[in-house]
Amino acid sequence: MLFTCSLCASPEGRIANRRITIEALWAQRHQCYTCRLLWDGVAAVHGDEFFKNFECLSIPWRSLKDTGPLRVDLIPHEKVTSSSIPRTRLQFYRGPNDTTAWPEIGASTHVGLNGLSHSTLELAHKWLKSCTLPGEGHSSCKAFDLKRSFLPARVLDVGTKQSPSVRLYLPQDGETAQYIALSHCWGGKTPIMTNKQNFQGHLQSISQPLPTTFNDAVLVARELGVRFLWIDSLCIIQDSPEDWAVHAPQMAKVYGGAYATIAADAAKDSAAGFLSGCRRHLSSPKTVAFSCDGHDGLVYVRKRGSLAYQLPYHDWSEPGRSIASRIRGPKEVVDRFCREQEPPESGLSTRGWVFQERVLSPRTLHFGGAETGWECRSLINCECSASSMRYHRKTSLLKRALSKMAWTTVVEEYTRLRLTFEEDRLVALSGLAEARKHLSNDIYIAGMWLNNLKRELLWRSDVPTAKSAVRRLDIAPTWSWASVTCPVVYEDQTATQSTGSTDTIESNWDILGFPNNTVSGTSSFGKCVAGTYLRMRGYLVEVNFWRDIDADPLHYYVQPNKRDSAILFQIFWDTSELESISASSDDEHTRYTVLLVTRAPAPPRGLLMGCPSENASQIPGTGEPHQKYQRVAYIVPPRRRRGCDWPDPEDTASAEGVNVQPEEWNWPSWQKNESLQEFRIF
């Protein structure tokens, strides 16, 4: 009987980078030890008739240095592929002190049955120690400095195992100590919170039992040897707008100074708890006995923990993009790949407030439904992969948002998340904005940065999510992304350029100024005051436009002058309400003004502005009229088909009018109708 065969091993005899059909594995299982082990391991997890659902198994490439579990992916039959039978990832591993005849089957520890399991806590201590102590290899993480760890204005004293009382604690000015912050979903009504009435009582003791999620956080803090815990609903007086206004802007300091943050990913609300994850049992291993060349032993087989794939920014994919946009291939291949992906597990990470909590926290312990994970500025890891080598990427993508991620990317990702109250759209990002201001010393205006404001003005509402968006001028002015309640996106800079053109946003338009006071309330990173404007100078063109009813819904014919031919454009309306208003105009063609943000030979693009005020003010020092506008849309030529490897021959409608040539951009018509003006946009 063979140890390995050509079916399961490479010419060098390694079990790696192989794709084996179930039929071939069945035929070879009695001739090869390795094939037999693979068959028995899969059967132990999925039952003896697993071949009815799966077509083949795939063993990804691994380095000779990799000492972790052997990964085996099961790929389902096309005819049964659905959300109920996704691609399954298995791990074959041995115990830390066990040996096998296969060097590719590395050692690992079992995933704990709950978050307080000995193996889980031991791993959490290891992660914390390696990140907080100097000289442990975390080059992007600062060693924890107790002298600089100032306690927040209020924390919970969680006591000890021997004295387990919990009370609200008011530190003295400048008092330092380790503390842990909790990041959690409120999930509707919170059973207990601090208010004006019970504040004094909470200073003595907080009544038990606590909501399960809060109690779980208390237990973890005690196990980690940390005395203080910060929970927003207990450390901020919830029925006091004044208290909220003072403490909510302190999020950057609270999460940034924490020894660690507990992310309760497995808890849908404060009552659900996160230690006894509902899916941890799925990682319980099956035992497979083997006998090979006189060597008897055991191999463990389990489903790979899913936290790394289901937690946003914890996997190796490009952040913030849908699965379909990250892969290329025929439509049926893309559809199949999307069906194989598991749905996001962490509802917590879909919340807008949590975005900055994850970014600002130097160290985060994720308690997911299936396992516990780790995230710091140097490393991401999880229980099932703690002993594996990482080759593609081992750092957190989201932690980059503190300084290395472009603010346009931050805005794109943040606006995809959910907020219970849309009026928090700027407030829920204020902690991150404050932290970035300390690093850049830039000026923050309505969710944007002055040094890059020209680029950041060129956002557009995402389609089709913009159909449900509304304009919220009580939050921000029309030129800010925060004024619409939907995801926003920025065009890829390279996609806005034509061959030989210069930077499209460095054209002849300028931002001349803005009011001295742009924010309401005590925070300089919160809501904007009514009437916040930008004073600008640029080339304005009055245009007529009407919809091309036979093409894409976004396609409009735009005409700079009634005597000139119209040009096909895409108009990305900020909200469907604005689109409806323009479409219902009594004029034959709706008339608006475009601020051109590009110059020839680049394609014309710009901000579509409407509702000019009849009460034009005066340009200071000149006496000339100063027109007022509101932004309503972003206007661009139809996207050109660039580098499409698999064009759809039946998709003729989407191809019409797309291949716009430079000579069809009709720059002479734009230039003869444009006028250089100063104006204000509100």
Per residue in 44-81, pLDDT tens?
998 888 888 888 998 887 777 777 888 899 988 876 54
**Cα(622)–Cα(8) distance, integer angstroms:** 82
Q: Which residues, including other chains, have CB under 8 Å from residue 468's CB and lie 6 or more apart? A: 486, 576
What confidence score (pLDDT) does residue 83 get?
47
Residue 324, sorted as left (phi over 0), alpha (psi -120 to 50) or beta, turns out to be alpha
Name residue 94's beta-bridge partners. 107
| Residue segments in the chain with a per-residue pLDDT below the cut of 50 | 81-83, 315-344, 393, 493-503, 613, 615, 617-622, 641-660
Q: Residue 100 and residue 95: Cα distance in Å, rounded?
A: 10
Instruction: Give the model's pLDDT for residue 663.
Output: 62
Distance CA 317, CA 399 (A): 15
CA atoms within 13 A on the CB side of 37: 31
Three-state DSSP at 212 gives: helix
Q: Look up the pTM and report it.
A: 0.82
Q: How far apart are CA 520 and CA 512, in angstroms?
A: 22
Rounded-to-integer distance, Cα 520 and Cα 510, Å: 26
| 425, 485 Cβ separation under 8 angstroms | yes
Say how far apart CA 441 and CA 436 lie, in whole Å: 8
Residue 438 structure tokens: 């300390």
The pLDDT score that the predictor gives to residue 309 is: 53
What DSSP designation does 482 have? G
Q: What is the pLDDT of residue 287?
A: 93
For β-strands 534-547 and 675-681, DSSP reports them as antiparallel
The reported pLDDT for the residue numbered 654 is 39
- Enumerate the H helices of 453-568 as residue ranges: 453-456
Strand partners, 223: none
* Cα separation, 32 vs 53, whole angstroms: 24
Widest pairwise Cα distance in the chain: 99
The predicted pLDDT at position 314 comes to 54
Phi, psi of 675 (to 5 degrees): -140, 135
- pLDDT attached to residue 304: 81
